[in-house]
Amino acid sequence: MITDQLYTTQFSDTNAKCTATIPNIPIETETFTQAYWLGWISNDNLPDAFKVGTFELVSGDEPAVKFTDITDYSKNRDFTYFTTVDGSGGYLTTFSAAPTFYDTVSTPPVWVAGGTNARLVNDMLYQSTGYGYISLTFFFPAVGALTGGTQTVQINIKNFIDFLQTQTYEITLTIGGDSFRINGQDFDENGVIWVEQNGTTRPVFIAQYEFIPMNSVLPGSRYIALYPAVHTGYTYNDSDFDSVSCTRRSLGYADFLRIRGDTLAVSYVRNDNIYPVYADNTPKNLFGLNTVIKISDLATVTTEPYIQDGVCVSYSYGSGGSPFFYNFYKIFRPADIYRHASLLRWCIGTNATGYVEYGIYYPLVDLITNEFKCALITGAESHVKPRIPAWMKYDLSESTYTEDDKPLPEPPDIDSDGDDITPYDFVNTPLAAANNFITLYAMNADFLTNFGEKMWAALGDPNFWAMVGTVFLNDCSINPADMMKYIIFLRYYPIDLSAFGTLANGIYFGRATVPIVPDVGVSYPYRINRNIVQLTGGTLTIPRYYGDFRDYEPCTDITLYIPYCGAVKLCPAEVTGKTLELTYYLDLQTGALKAIVRLYSDTTYIVASVAGTCGASIQVSANNNIEFLQRIATVSMGAASGVSSGLNAGGEIGEVAAGFGGVLGAVGSAASVGLGAGIGAAIGGVGALAGLPPVAVHASGNTTGFANLAGSLKAYVTIQYQKYVVPKNYGHTTGYAVQFDDDIKNLSGYVLCENVDTTGLTCSEDERTAIKQLLERGIYV
Amino acid sequence: MKAFLCTIPPSTLLLDKRSYYADAVKTELELEIFTPCDIMNPVLKLQNQYATGFNYMYLPTWGKYYFLDDATILNGEFCSMPARMDVLTSNADEIKNLHVRVVRYETQKDKFLYDHRLPKSSKIFTQNFEFSSTPFTYTESVLDTKIPHYIMSVIGGDGTS
C-alpha cells in the first residue's frame, strides 16, 4: 500500500495506486466574531501527537537532508505574505485577498503599522479563509560572519503554539543569518520541526506571518490544509483597516480531503493544457496584442473532479527567457478554465510586464493526489521528500474510506474498441434528405410582426403582395393563393436560435423564394441548417452533506428537475460527490427535447436521460388576399365603368390591383378575367363589403399552450435528507454499524457480534449459551 | 465454602472484570450454599451482617465469579443471597480468543455502512442546487423581440443542403 510505503520511505512511486485517503481533519465550525491567534488550531483539536512533549533544543545529529528538504523548497516559493515588525520597527504589514473555492474575499490591501502581534492575531484569522495553513517565517538578523557547525533545533508544536499564543517575539534558536519558512507540514511525525543552520546562537524573531491559502498551494507539495477553518462570516473593524467581510460555504461543500487517489487518472506534471500558441515557444508579451494563452479542450482533463473540481494554475514568467517566478494561483471551477488569458491575467496582475513562459493547470484532484503521493515536482523537476505528520499517519491508519465510495466501474468494453458507447452524432446532421423538402427559419418577434403586418394589415402590404404574386406566378407558376399552405408550422422556443443558422434574405415557399425585405430595424430571419440542436445545460456537483452512509439511499433522495422534461430520481450512489453535466438535444421540428445527464468525468456514463417537449406551437394563418380581392371584384363587376373609375381613383391601390390583375390574368381564372381594373373599384368601395361571402382563411400549424413554458429555466437538483438524531456516546451505547471479524482480544469498547461460534470454550453448555447470548447482545471489552 | 465478596463498579457487560476485582476490598467468608445447587445460580447462606454491601463474589473452589443480588432475610441470624455466574469474567481468557464477526462496534469503521439503528427523525430537510447555466431564456427574452425564438417550417428548398 502506498500508505505503508509512505510511512516507511516517505516517498512513493509517482504512479503508485493509493488505497487509502486522507480522512477528515478536525475543524472548528463556529463563527468567529472575535478572533484570536491560532484560534482554530487549539489544543482541543490538535491530535495527541502534537500535545505531548516539551520544548527542547537538540544539537546536532539530524541529517542535513531535513534541512534541505524544507528550506530548499521553501525558499523557492513565492507566496504572498505579510510582514510585521520584529519589535524594532521597520516592517509593515500587508494583506492580500485569499479567495477560496467559492468565495471572494473582498479585501483591499491594508497596511497596518506593525509592532503588535496582537493585531496580527486578528489579521491572521481574517486571512484564514478556510483552506490553507499558517506559515511562520523566522527572521534571523544577520550579524557578522557566521561561524560554527551545524546545529539543529527541535520545536515541539505544542510549545510552538503556546509560544505563539504568548505573543512573545523572542525565541532563542541556534540559527542565524537567514530567513526560513516553516509551516504545519514541516512538523514531522513526532510533531517536530527540524531547522538547522550554520551560525551562532542569537535571538530570533518571528518576523513574518504568512497565511497560505489553499489556492496558492503547489500541487504535489507538502502543503495541504492543516486545519481548515470554516467561517460563516467574519467582520472586523478597527481604526487600522476597513471592514472585512466574507461569506463562505461550509466545508461540507469542499471537503476535498476525501478525495481518493486511486480513482484518478492523474495528469501529474506539466501537462500541455496551457500553452503559448506560438510553436516556437518564444516568449511573448503577456498582455499585448499577441497575448494568447490557451487552455486546450476541457475534455483533455481526465481526472475526476471528485468533490470539487477546479484547477490550479501555475506558470512562470520573467524576461529575457529566464523565468524567475513560479506561482500557483487561484483554484477555479471548470467554467473558469475557459477564461483563458484572463485567468492568467488575474494571476499575474494587469500591470505585469513579463511574459508567461509556460503554464500548468492542475485539476484540483491533482493537488490532493499529488499531495498524497508526497512528491513535489517543481519547475526544476526536483523532488522533495516530505514527512508524514503523525496525525495524518494516525488518521490514515484509521481511515474508513472504502471501495464503496469509488465511482461505479465502467461498463465492460465488449468490442474492445475502448469505448462501447459511441453516440450518434445526430446533432450536426443537417436536414439531409429532407433538406429540400422543408426549410426551417428562425425569426424574432419583430420579424414575425412585420411579416404579419404585410399579410394582414388592412389589405396587406401591396408591395409585398405584388411581389408574392410576381414570384409565385412568374417564377414558379404557383398560385399565390396557396402561399400559406406552404407554411408547415410556427413554433416558439425559449432559446436563442441565431447560433444555429445563417441569415437568409428570403423564404422558400415551395419552389418560390420570396425575398422578404423587413422594414427598417427588423432583422432578417435565419435559415436553420440542422434538425437537432445541442444545448448546454451546465454542470453541477452533487455535494455530500453528512459525509457518510446517510448521503445515500435510503436516507437521501436526489431528484433532478429538468426544464420541460420534468423530474427524475437519481441514484445517490451514482452521483454523490460527482459532477454532472447536462446536455439538451432539441428537435426543432417537433419540439422534442431530450436531456442527457452525464458524469463530467466520464461523458460516456449517462446518469439520466429524460425526454420532454420544449416550445409552443403557434397557429399561423392568412386570408388569401388574392381571393379576397377577387371576391371584391366579383361583387363589383357589375359596372365596367366602376372598374374603370376605381382604377383611376384607386391611386396607389389601383397600381397594386393592376399588378394583381396581371397575376390573376396569368392564372387564367375565369373569375379573374379583367380583375385588374375591377379591384381598384372594389377597394374604392370597400365600405360596401358587408354583404360579401366569407373569405377563405388558410391556416397552418396548430397551437399548444405557452403555459408549458412556465417553470424553472435552470435544471436543479433537490436533495432530500433524512434528519437523524445522533445520540451522545452512540458508539459506546449502541455501537456503530460495522462488518468485520477479529479476535475479541483485539477489540476494545462496545462490541456486538453476530452468530457467535463458541467452539473452543471449555465451560459448561449453559455458560456457553449465556456467553453467546451476551456477545450477540453486546458487551464491553 | 470459601468465598471472597466485594463491590466492583463496572458494568455487568464488561468482559473482564478481574482487574476491578483485584483492586476491590474483599471480604473472605466461609459460607454455606443452599442445596441442591445450580452452579450458574447458587444461593448463598450468609449471616445477616453480610446481607448488604456486596455485588460481586469469587468462589475459588469453582474458579468462578458471580454477581450478587439482593439478600432475603431468613431469620434473626441468616439471610439467603442469590448469585449469578459472571460467565464473561469467569471465562474471559477463552472468550478473548474467540474469533467473532462484529456487527456493531465502539468506533466507526466504515462510514458508508448503513446503520439502521441510528435514530431517525420524522423530519427531513431539503437543499436545492442549480446547474451552472441554462440555454433557456424565456423569461428574459419575452420582452426582447430581437432574439430569434421562432421557428417557421416551410415547404421547399433551394436545392442545396
pLDDT of residue A234 exceeding 50, the answer is no
Region A734-751: mean pLDDT is 91
Place of cell 482541543: A44
CA atoms within 13 A on the CB side of A57: 9
Which residues, numbered 470 to 529 in chain A, qualify as contacts with chain B under a Cβ-Cβ cut-off of 8 Å?
485-498, 507-513, 523, 525-526, 528
pLDDT tens-digit series, residues A654-666? 333 333 333 333 3
Cα torsion A519, A520, A522, A524: sign: positive
SS (H, E, C) A698-722: EEECCCCCHHHHCCCCCCEEEEEEE
Look at A232 and A667; give whichever has higher pLDDT.
A667
Distance in Å, alpha carbon of A662 to nearest chain B alpha carbon:
25
Closest CA to B20 of B86, B84, B69: B86
Nearest-CA distance B72 → chain A (Å) = 26
C-alpha cell recorded at residue A253: 461543500
Least confident among A439-443, A600-604, A688-692: A688-692
A329-381 per-position pLDDT tens digit = 333 333 333 333 333 333 333 333 333 333 333 333 333 322 222 222 222 22
d(CA B35, CA B48) in angstroms, rounded, equals 19
C-alpha cell at A327: 506561482
Cβ within 8 Å, pair B130-A439? no
Which cell numbers hold the place of A507? 423564404
pLDDT at B109: 82
The whole-angstrom separation of Cα A265 and Cα A258 is 16
pLDDT band at A703 (very low <50, low <70, confident <90, very high): low
Which range of A197-206, A389-398, A456-465, A750-759 scores highest in mean pLDDT? It is A750-759
Give the integer Cα–Cα distance in Å for B40 and B90. 11
Among B128, B125, B122, B148, residue whose Cα is nearest residue B137: B148
Contact between B94 and B88 (Cβ < 8 Å)? no
* Rounded mean pLDDT, A439-458: 76
Q: What is the mean pLDDT of residues A46-58?
A: 28
pLDDT confidence of residue A559? 92
Write out the DSSP string of A232-294: S---B--SSS--BB-----GGG--GGG--STT-----S--TTEEES-TT-----SSSTT--EE
Q: What are A703's three cell numbers? A: 397551437
Q: What are the cell numbers at A641?
A: 365603368
C-alpha span between A778 and A750 (Å, rounded) = 7
Closest CA to A547 of B116, B123, B112, B108: B112
What mean pLDDT is predicted for residues A82-111?
A: 28
Which range has the top average pLDDT, A185-199, A226-240, B94-108? B94-108
B133 CA to chain A: closest CA distance, Å? Answer: 5
Amino acid letter for position A288: G
pLDDT of residue A504: 79
Place of cell 469503521: B109
Q: Give the span between the Cα atoms of A200 and A173, in whole angstroms.
A: 9
> Do B91 and A763 count as a contact with CB atoms less than 8 A apart?
yes
At residue A723, what is the residue type? K
Average pLDDT, chain A: 49
Contacts for A10 with CB less than 8 Å, ≥ 6 apart: A374, A385, A386, A387, A388
CA–CA min distance B49, chain A (Å): 31
Which pLDDT belongs to residue A101?
Answer: 22
Q: Tell me the pLDDT band of B143, cut-offs 50, 70 and 90.
A: low
Average pLDDT over residues A288-295: 29
A730: contact with B, CB 8 A cutoff: yes
A94 CB contacts (<8 Å, ≥6 apart)? A82, A83, A109, A110, A111
**More confident of the two residues A669 and B132:** B132
A524 phi/psi in degrees, rounded to 5? -75, 160
Q: Residue A539 pLDDT more than 80?
A: yes
Residue A710, all three cell numbers: 412556465
> Which amino acid is residue A54, in one-letter code?
T
pLDDT of residue A699: 54
Per residue in A388-403, pLDDT (tens digit) is 233 232 232 333 333 3
Burial of residue A366 (CB within 10 Å: 0-12, 13-18, 19+) is buried
Whether the CB-CB separation of A681 and A643 falls below 8 Å is answered with yes
Among residues A485, A589, A571, A489, which one has the least CA distance to residue A533? A589
- Looking at this predicted complex, what is its ipTM? 0.90
Query: What are A125-139's pLDDT values in tens digits?
Result: 223 222 333 333 333
pLDDT band at A494 (very low <50, low <70, confident <90, very high): confident
pLDDT value for A574: 86
Residue A526 has a pLDDT of 86
Is A770 within 8 Å of B118 when comparing Cβ atoms? no
% pLDDT > 90, chain A = 6
CB contact under 8 A, B126 and A488: no
How many CB atoms sit inside 10 A of residue A147's CB?
9
Better-predicted residue by pLDDT, B72 or A318? B72
Q: Please give the span between the terminal C-alpha atoms of chain B, in angstroms, as a whole number.
A: 109
pLDDT at A549 over 90: no
Q: Which residue has the higher pLDDT, A668 or B122?
A: B122
Count of residues in chain B: 161
Q: CA-nearest residue of chain B to A525? A: B148
Q: pLDDT confidence of A751, banded at 50, 70, 90?
A: very high
| Cβ–Cβ gap A731/B105 under 8 Å | yes
Q: Is the pTM of this model over 0.80?
A: no
Cis previous bond, A462, omega within 30: no
The 10s digit of each residue's pLDDT in A171-218 is: 223 333 333 434 433 333 333 334 433 333 333 333 233 333 333 332
| B 21-60: CB under 8 A from A | 39-40
Q: Calculate how close chain A gets to B155, using CA atoms only, in Å.
A: 4
Task: Report pLDDT for A457.
Answer: 54
Asked if residues A447 and A520 have their Cβ atoms less than 8 Å apart, the reply is no
Kindly list the strands in the beta sheet with A616-618, ordered across the sheet, starting from the edge strand earlier in the chain.
A501-503, A526-528, A438-443, B150-155, A487-492, A616-618
Write down the pLDDT at residue B138. Answer: 56
> Is the pLDDT confidence value at A588 over 80?
yes
Across the interface, whether the CB atoms of A444 and B126 are under 8 A apart is answered no
What whole-number distance in Å separates Cα of residue A324 and Cα of residue B157? 62
Q: Cβ neighbours of residue A73 under 8 Å, at least 6 residues apart?
A: A221, A222, A376, A378, A384
Flag whether pLDDT at A438 surpasses 70: yes
Nearest to B83 by CA among B18, B33, B29, B15: B33
